[in-house]
Amino acid sequence: MKILLDCDPGIDDAIALAVALGSPDVELVAVTTVAGNVGLGATTANALRVCAFLGREDVSVVAGADRPLQRSAVLAHHVHGSDGLGGAPLPEAARPPDPGFGPDRIVSEIMGAPGEVTLVAVGPLTNVALALRREPRIAHTARRLVVMGGSYTAGNITAAAEFNIHADPDAAAEVVAAPWEPVLLGLDVTLRVRVGPVVMDRWRGFGTLSGQLLEPALAGYLDSRTRADGGGPAVHDACALACALQPDMFTLTPATVRVETSDPETLGRTTVELGPATGAHALVATDVDVDRLWALMEAAFGRVSADVRGR
């Protein structure tokens, strides 16, 4: 499966990238980066660092938008740490990002392989909106768009809004309104996929992958909502990658989705009406088989862990 990962690494983005690199069914055609959890320089450097650490310097990494479409940047250093990876001791990559601009790369990959490229977007949707503005036909030409973003209950960056949507609500509104039946995985599902003590005990078996990335990054993941009850941090972005690979792992419900772009009190809120009778234009995840998701992730970790040990 051809996947283009648009991301803002970010701890859970880095974990999603590791899952992609460890999945034999994935042909990762490119990684495009966007400002979000941290600034664009850091998100791009982090994508390069993770690829280098996992021995995949062949993966194309292209920097995208460094700010939202029309608003001031909203970052999440308070969650992901000053470097975006919670202080995980990954060395700097030896190579720079590839030339070009992320939205242009999204367009070229999708239009160059009609019906084949699944776009997995796990950061603010600025790059995707800019790609649509450049070439609206990508909405009909992509195999599928899978988004980590939104919520049909409560938010996390504000009471009303999830971070990725809130960080660029105008971009999100444009992307959701485009004619490609996006699949949205929001907090209602991703907060069920949390790395508690039992899961972390298993992950310690992945050697260097665990010691240099998984454990230190997750230890630095300061998401107060997912830690308040001791349940551990949620791996939001890995859910989107898993849904692209095995959509039957999730319950996907037809829905209409609207993004609030006017009211400052609820900016970025996703209003979701579930059910086909609503004139649905999207699919919204409402449930997940958590055990299957852990199995998929851990199989991928096992493969990349073996690659790290072998170098």
| Residue with the two structure tokens 């977007």 | 121
Structural domain range at position 62: 2-309
Which is the catalytic residue, given 78, 80, 140, 236? 236
Interacting residues of 162 by C-beta distance below 8 A, sequence separation 6+: 149, 150, 151, 155, 156, 186, 187, 268, 270
Evaluate whether 63 touches 97 at the Cβ level (below 8 Å): yes
Q: Domain holding 213: CATH number?
A: 3.90.245.10
Global pTM reads 0.96
* Res 61: pLDDT: 99
| Torsional sign, CA 28, 32, 36, 41 | positive
Q: DSSP strand E in the chain: where?
A: 2-7, 27-33, 61-63, 117-121, 144-148, 183-185, 250-259, 270-274, 282-288
* Res 276: pLDDT: 81
Alpha helices in 135-196 (DSSP H): 138-141, 163-167, 169-177, 187-190
Is residue 236 flagged as an active site residue?
A: yes
* Res 278: pLDDT: 74
Q: How many residues does the chain have?
A: 311
Nearest Cα neighbor of 223 from 173, 176, 156 is 156
- Sort strands 183-185 and 282-288 into parallel, antiparallel or unpaired: parallel
How many domains does the chain contain in total? 1
Mean pLDDT by 10 residues, the chain (311 residues): 98 98 98 98 98 96 98 89 93 97 99 99 99 99 99 92 97 97 97 94 95 92 60 94 98 97 96 86 97 98 78 57
* Res 221: pLDDT: 83
* Res 229: pLDDT: 60
Nearest Cα neighbor of 167 from 231, 80, 97 is 80
